[in-house]
Structure 1
């Protein structure tokens, strides 16, 4: 029996990450780690057993000032049940073949009332590059092959948190727009980030030069602002807590003690009767 097909090629992903030298191109990791730091300050809690997940987990731990255990973002995470009180998944969940499985593993590894924050690319990330490449290939080759990984939508990510059993789940997006001199500069920076194409269904042949030349023309036509090529990155921040009896619970419908009209200082009128 053939093995179950996977969306991503883990060997290619490891090779892409191994090419990364230095941190000059990791500005999105900096942005995300700083945002996580601010969110942890808002929580106002001391964590004694934090775990950071991802190939840049040590970099994130340093940025956030936490003495954390760092583990790779393997499909089976090196986590024991109820072994930690904070887990941060460091901008790599978008490469997981089974993101729900990863979330479930993290939830089981948290002690009651432990916190999980996962950051991943989502939404409209690199939509300019995806559309330009798709149009160029369709025009010159009469067909397309995937070059940019598909991105999850925010609503679906919130549902994943609920499926994984997290309490008080929250999913939100932080958009980042970056200007580049040319699409070639963007693609070089993606390579320096370790974020180039690792799809299992990617073409193994060298890309045709005319396709990329046409892609650059289309990119300039559709996505140029003040002489610079714009690229969109949307970072999804997924937050959830391991269920605990001490957590706040939503009120039952109809149990509110204050009328909304009173809180807003307005007069409430009865709804008009519907006429058939």
Structure 2
């Protein structure tokens, strides 16, 4: 009997969905573009140079590296990998040697990884000491309008049709478990207004974010019609329904002796009572 836990996501379906999305991806890349903007802001705040960078989950190669840096690109899908002269590989099965990069960026893929703790550990391993990881993915609280419409359409016991989502606190814990130093996880909200459910589903397919659960159940015509109606009933301003994407950003450093350390317990020189004026 195998000790390997069952996989949540269908790896073959994921590769196929990414290859299907590749030709028209530019029409649906707004969510990853927002993630890359956030990563660029965080990178701008770092006062050091990076020479060897891994773009993990590269899609169309939109990540712009600092001048003079070498960029290796990697994607689970063949079409995206070949378009960017990159390597095709899953994030929890990286083919790179330890300490190959001083910066790893990943936008829009870590929420579809079977072994996310393992993937984060591999990211830390391919970083050099004092290397930086910057990541972003869709987190808990996202697609609340779609979830609500599916609950209305399917009643009290809806089938699993949307991926499990990671909240920001759990994301920070995962960074610590993977061995990152100075871990930070924070969240930003992006609201998008849709005139109908078809446009939302089209965006999800177009950004390779459709259902790739291992145990998928097809939507019957009746359930789909009720879901469309419930999504439309949630419309407000301008007859559009607001859908929410919660973007979790991750920042972590590969450990190095030069990094600041938390103060040793009991080393304070002033008491809390004195600070409070007691």
Q: Same fold (TM over 0.5)?
A: yes
Distance 1:43 1:149, change over 3 A: same
**Equivalent residue number for residue 153 of structure 1:** 167
**Equivalent residue number for residue 80 of structure 2:** none
**Equivalent residue number for residue 127 of structure 1:** 144
Are 1:214 and 2:226 counterparts? Answer: yes
Are 1:48 and 2:51 counterparts? Answer: yes
Structure 2 residue corresponding to 1:177, chosen from 191, 206, 225: 191
Tell which structure's C-alpha radius of gyration is larger. 1
1:223, CA displacement in angstroms?
5.5
**Deviation string, structure 1 residues 157-181 (Cα, Å, up to 9, x no partner):** 1110111000000011111010010
Structure 2 residue corresponding to 1:195, chosen from 169, 194, 209: 209
1:226, CA displacement in angstroms?
4.1
Stretch moving more, 233-242 or 67-76: 67-76
**Equivalent residue number for residue 268 of structure 1:** 277
Distance 1:57 1:39, change over 3 A: farther
Give the conservation status (yes or no) of the 8 Å contact 1:56–1:90.
Answer: no
**Equivalent residue number for residue 96 of structure 2:** 79
Separation in 1 of the partners of 2:214 and 2:174? Answer: 23
Structure 1 residue corresponding to 2:33, chosen from 30, 33, 50: 30
Separation in 2 of the partners of 1:71 and 1:254? Answer: 46
Are 1:105 and 2:117 counterparts? Answer: no
Secondary structure of the structure 2 residue equivalent to 1:220? helix
1:16, CA displacement in angstroms?
1.3
Separation in 2 of the partners of 1:103 and 1:89? Answer: 11
**Deviation string, structure 1 residues 111-144 (Cα, Å, up to 9, x no partner):** 11100112111111112212221331126xxx42
CA RMSD of aligned residues (A): 2.3
The count of residues paired between Structure 1 and Structure 2 equals 260
**Equivalent residue number for residue 272 of structure 1:** none
**Deviation string, structure 1 residues 166-213 (Cα, Å, up to 9, x no partner):** 00000111110100101111111111111111111111x4x2222122
TM-score (norm: length of structure 2): 0.86
Give the conservation status (yes or no) of the 8 Å contact 1:71–1:78.
Answer: no
**Equivalent residue number for residue 256 of structure 2:** 244
Separation in 2 of the partners of 1:223 and 1:167? Answer: 44
Distance 1:254 1:177, change over 3 A: same
Instruction: Give unpaired runs (5+ residues) of structure 2.
Output: 77-89
**Equivalent residue number for residue 13 of structure 2:** 12
1:220, CA displacement in angstroms?
3.2
